Structure 1
Amino acid sequence: MTWCSTKQTIQSDKELESENCSSIKRQSKPSEKVQHKDKETLEKTQKQLVGLQKKLKKLEKGQQKALLDDHPDDSEEGPESEDEDSIMFSSTIKPIEVIPIPEVQARPLRRVEQTPVEKRPLSPSATSPPLKSLKKPLLPVALADSVKLFLDVCAQWAESCWANVQIVPNDELDEGQCYEFTPQILGVIQRHSSTMQSRLIEPTHTQVVVCFGFRQDLNKTFHYKDPKTKTGYCKNLIIFNLISKTWFKDTEAQGVVFKQLFNPIPLETIALIWTLIDHCISKWHSGVFVQANFKEDNVSNFYKVSLADLRKWTTLNPTVMTNKRKKLFDRAFKKSGGITSGEPQIQLKGDAEERARRELEGHTGETDSEGDKHDDEASDN
């Protein structure tokens, strides 16, 4: 019994050992396959990296060659063999195009030597840069006649202001130096000069309230001196007041500085005044104030009709009409405080001269008279 049990134990041990060996063999075979696959993957990855490195070197050399075109003596790289892995990436990688960037330099303002400019209005005959176009017109396009009249004036006005101010932005410029007046500077000034509409509308509102009672039967007779009898054509006081407040406000106003353009007052200017008055009255047409904008679509027809009426009126008696417009200018110019360019006239003549002669009779100029004595006492006190 003992021998049999021992034999069975030995057999069971052998069987167990054989099972363990077979299991070890089964486990070792897959690990060897995994190691073999890992090795193949590693080698393939290394080949791909080598191919990529070669491709990157070619790209870098291609960029250097494009950037250094004026170095033709540089050696070129010879052809290299490419394996299958590098060929695989050649279809996906495109060469980088190098676009040359042009050099842009800021253009500084030029400084020019100039003698001090006397502050005086610019003559209308003086040359000035041509005024091509205005991004923001001073007046609606329908008022083309008035705009054309002042186009050159705008350029002259800007150039005159530039010369009078003598702009010196910092202490680096010496006396007698200033920036040159260029067409670009003229354009900047013109883009910020579109305030004429507001300067016309505001005084018109005030004058309309003073002169009219907003009656519907007066909206077509406002230009008469007497709207009820329709007499005194173009003599209503509001016309003179608006011309005076807009263009002859003071001695530096446009009508004073450029008086040769306002003497006589142009028909286009009078038609513009009529258009402004009608626009303001129309806001009260219904009896209640209704806000409306001064735009071309709203005023162009009335302006054209008004200008046609004025021209027709002028043909009735051109001489009288011209004299009336000259008188209108003289009144506005005098009210502004402007100085006429004519020679001063002698005031001591006629009766004034005779009175002065009688006062001097009987006086030698060396003795104290009673009147002189009283003047001395008054000055002492």
Structure 2
Amino acid sequence: MSDAPPPSPTSPKSGAEAVKIHHRLHPTLGARSDASSAPPAKRSKEYEDAPFREGFVAVRSTKPAAGDYADLALAIIIRACREYSARIAGLYMLPASGVQAQWAQECFRNACGVAKRQYAYTDRIGKIVRARGSQVRGKTIETFRALFAGNYGLERSSSSKIIAANKRKVAQLLQNSAFHYKDPAANPLVGFAENRIIAQVRKATTFRTKESVGIVFPNYFNPISLGNIAMELIAEWSTGSFIASKFTEKAVVDSYEKYVKDVEKWSAMKPTVVENIRKKWYWRASETLTSEVINDNESSINDAQEEALRAELEGRTGAA
């Protein structure tokens, strides 16, 4: 279903440690990449610049957008943005800046290959592609927030009694990272990373339709990577009342990496068994798309259309 080439063995760090961490996070992908290395691409400066759409003049102070470009270049950039989104959602939510830059360039070159038309990779195009990372993270956070209180039995209230009850629940959920287990109240805890909210968020963000990145780019999701299951927002309820925190990479990176270490440790206990569990999660998320009953109240805009519309709006001010 996917025509995207296997990703390079990149990771949230750089150098030799990067490859090592990547193999731990997604060993199957790493093995496929090493076995199918392609010859190095021509230097980007040997390609012509992607043409702008008719009448567009780039202004240095203006934020670059995919919609600034002519049709073929626009399609290539959107394809690159979608693959980059898949890497962020499927491999690692918070890669270091150097890895972001490398992924963006690789995704653009892959998209050029799919289109059979090569354009130069520029800083301007790189900014457009990398911007999709914050959008993926933002969408994930919004989905978690919408489901969070109902899933864990937390209530929004000014009542001191309810606030105290919320605070106790949050303390219990944080103890031994119980919040991501299938039943956070069980003793002993079982079902590591199988709390239903994780599958619900995965479904809503990356397996929503047949055009979603989890389906179009299965190499990044099958099996579900260890980095993919490590996000959490429990701290927003730590006082007993909901206080929405501003999501920034700097604010959550330590928490995220802590839970990545947890899932790495879990995986190392029985690697083959855990990999099979992660494959099961992928198939559960993807196979239901063929048997779902369509809800007529849902938006008719699919994921691919959403990307095109976003690109169009980014190039407009609304004044004309």
Runs (4+) off by over 4 Å: 125-131, 145-151, 161-164
> What residue number does 1:228 align with?
185
1:48 maps to: none
1:287 aligns with 2:244: no
In the TM superposition, 1:108-257 aligns within 5 A as 121-124=3-6, 143-144=94-95, 148=99, 152=103, 155-156=106-107, 160=111, 181-184=119-122, 186-187=125-126, 189-190=128-129, 192-193=131-132, 194-214=134-154, 215-216=169-170, 217-219=172-174, 220-229=177-186, 230-257=189-216
Counterpart position of 2:228: 269
User: Is the CA contact 2:210–2:289 (under 8 Å) kept in the aligned structure 1?
Assistant: yes
Cα deviation, 1:326-376, whole Å, max 9, x if unaligned, reads: 1001111112349xxxxxxxxxxxxxxxxxxxxxxxxxxxxxxxxxxxxxx
Report whether the alignment pairs 1:333 with 2:286.
yes
Amino acid corresponding to residue 222 of structure 1 in structure 2: F
Calculate the aligned-residue CA RMSD, in Å: 3.9
* Alignment correspondent of 1:316: 269
Between the aligned partners of 1:289 and 1:325, the Cα distance in structure 2 is: 32
How far apart in 2 are the matches of 1:307 and 1:322?
A: 15
Q: Tell me the TM-score normalized by structure 2.
A: 0.51
Q: CA deviation at 1:149?
A: 8.9
Provide closer, same or farther for how the CA distance between residues 182 and 311 of structure 1 changes in structure 2, counting only shifts above 3 A: same
TM-score normalised according to structure 1 size: 0.44
* TM superposition shift of 1:267: 0.6
SS at match of 2:191: strand
Query: How far does residue 260 in structure 1 lie from its aligned partner after superposition?
Result: 1.4
| 3-state SS of 2:119 partner | coil
Q: 1:268 to 1:149 in 2, by over 3 A?
A: farther
Task: Return the alpha-carbon distance in structure 2 between the equivalents of residues 130 and 195 of structure 1.
Answer: 29
Q: What is the CA-CA distance between 1:264 and the residue it aligns to? A: 0.8
Q: Give, as a single letter, the amino acid of the residue that structure 1 aligns with 2:180.
A: H
Cα displacement string for residues 226-261 of structure 1 (whole angstroms, at most 9, x for unaligned residues): 111122222111111112222212112211111012
**Structure 1 residue identity aligned to 2:3:** P
Q: In structure 2, what is the equivalent of residue 65 of structure 1?
A: none
Shift of 1:317: 1.1
**1:346 counterpart residue number:** none
Q: Deviations over 1:50-91 (max 9, x none)?
A: xxxxxxxxxxxxxxxxxxxxxxxxxxxxxxxxxxxxxxxxxx
Count of residue pairs brought into register by the alignment: 196
Alignment deviations for residues 13-47 of structure 1 (CA, whole Å, 9 cap, x no partner): xxxxxxxxxxxxxxxxxxxxxxxxxxxxxxxxxxx
Deviation at 1:296, TM superposition (A): 3.1
Identical positions, percent: 29
Query: Deviations along 1:169-203, whole A, 9 cap, x unmatched?
Result: xxxxxxxxxx8532137435325434112211111
Q: Deviations over 1:264-289 (max 9, x none)?
A: 11111112xxx3x3x2x322222222
Q: Counterparts of 2:147 and 2:178 in 1: how far apart (Å)?
A: 15
Query: For the structure 1 residues 320 and 150, does the alpha-carbon distance in structure 2 shift closer, same or farther, using more than 3 Å as the test?
Result: farther
RCO (CA 8 Å, sep 6+): is it higher in 1 or 2?
2
Q: Choose 1 or 2 for highest CA Rg.
A: 1
Kindly provide the amino acid, as one letter, of the partner of residue 160 in structure 1: A
Work out whether residues 250 and 337 of structure 1, in 8 Å CA contact, stay in contact via their aligned partners in 2.
no
